[in-house]
Amino acid sequence: MKDWVKASTQQRDKIKILFLGQCIAAGIEVGAQYSYPVLTTSLLQARFPQLKFEVDFKPLLHPTGLQSLMSASLGLKPDIIFLSLPAVFAALPYRVNSLYLVAPEVMNLARNFVRKIELTIGKNSKLLQSFKQKTVLMPTVAMPVVSLDEYERLTEEALLFCQQNSRCRLVLMGPGGFNEDTRDSNALTPELFRSLNDRILNLGKRCGVTVINANDLMQENDGSVFLRGNQRWSASGHQVMARELASVFTAEILSLQFSTVG
């Protein structure tokens, strides 16, 4: 009995956080070291020096594959899942890896396999290029624009699946603010960003999930939070997001520290 009480009340010494979203989380165009997951981890480590943080990023290729991605992510037993839901899926058609949509865990294993080949024979090897061209692990399919209703439905199904199958904390984020200095596409508009953002905020309330309002947060800053000519965040934008995420994750971690371990 004493052993059970001790195990159930001891504090965690490690926190695993999964970032699910698009390649912006990997620091595209600013560098991985300046990406918001890396910056957030540094802020959390300073706040909780007694904890070890294990952080990973998994790409969200399309909302239709969101529940499969969530299922594969839960297999990694995260403490916190951060899900970023960009507006681009509701504006433009996408060509994606169809196998990743239904079995992301298989594709993650395949990527690890390809990386090992790269290390062994070199990234520019003709053998490696031939392998990439012929492999059956790279089928693609063109996905149409997702309506806001469908986007909301797919997201809600994935959230409920997670809540029914795991005790991990969920944090959502919608569009990351609209860069008024550019119009990448006539389909990408401030109105679309606001509409999707409102739906995600309401979905968070219905499901009892924390939502970061990045759309409004970025609009409160000047244009320096965006890269020139597109909707991606600059290094400054990643810093703004990292501070907000660190604040939200701190509350979740404190809650985890006082919950039952295991």
The two tokens of residue 140 are: 């693609």
Q: Report the percentage of the chain scoring pLDDT > 90.
A: 64
Candidate from 135-139, 201-205, 228-232 with smallest mean pLDDT: 135-139
Nearest-angstrom CA–CA distance, 43 and 48? 9
Q: What pLDDT shows up at residue 262?
A: 43
Nearest-angstrom CA–CA distance, 131 and 121? 12
On the question of pLDDT at 184 being above 80, the answer is: no
Q: What pLDDT shows up at residue 2?
A: 40
- Each residue's pLDDT tens digit, 93-116: 988 877 777 777 665 655 555 555
Nearest-angstrom CA–CA distance, 40 and 21? 15
On the question of pLDDT at 123 being above 70, the answer is: no
- Each residue's pLDDT tens digit, 131-144: 455 454 567 888 89
Q: What pLDDT shows up at residue 127?
A: 54
On the question of pLDDT at 229 being above 60, the answer is: yes
* Beta pairing partners, 233: 226
Nearest-angstrom CA–CA distance, 205 and 8? 30
- Each residue's pLDDT tens digit, 58-86: 999 899 999 999 999 999 999 999 999 99
Average pLDDT, the chain: 85
On the question of pLDDT at 189 being above 80, the answer is: yes
Residue 154 · residue 160 · CB < 8 Å:
no
